[in-house]
Amino acid sequence: MVHVGQHGLTETARQTVDDALRTHELVKIQFTKNADVTVRDAASELATALDADVVQVIGKTAHAVSREPELKRKRRHSALAVGLTMS
């Protein structure tokens, strides 16, 4: 989960979401009550900038997934290497 504070979408917040999308398939982005942004607009802006898709927005929380197919393939390959299966 990534928290976006009262200062909105700072460069640090964008980088944190980007890092999370590189290591996780689904990222939950929580906006504080004092965040100076509209959740839907901010989530769309992040998704566009980071090559991701917004899956869901509920209240002050957005869920995003990376469009990068390599992440999914790398995870599947890693899981198969240790004898696990992924759907």
Paired residues of 4 in beta bridges: 31
Which range marks the domain in which residue 64 is found? Answer: 2-81
Residue 16 counted as domain residue: yes
pTM score, two decimals? 0.70
Residue 86 counted as domain residue: no
Say how many residues make up the chain. Answer: 87
- Single out the residue of 29, 11, 12 nearest to residue 66, CA to CA: 29
How would you write the pLDDT of the chain (87 residues) with one tens digit per residue?
Answer: 887 877 778 888 889 999 998 888 899 999 887 766 788 988 998 899 988 999 999 999 999 998 875 655 455 444 444 444 444
38, 62 contact by CB (below 8 A): no
Q: What is the pLDDT of residue 58?
A: 94
CA contacts within 13 A on the Cβ side of 54: 17
Q: What is the pLDDT of residue 8?
A: 74
Residue 87 counted as domain residue: no
Q: What is the pLDDT of residue 36?
A: 66
Q: What is the CATH number of the domain that holds 45?
A: 3.30.110.60
Domains held by the chain: number: 1
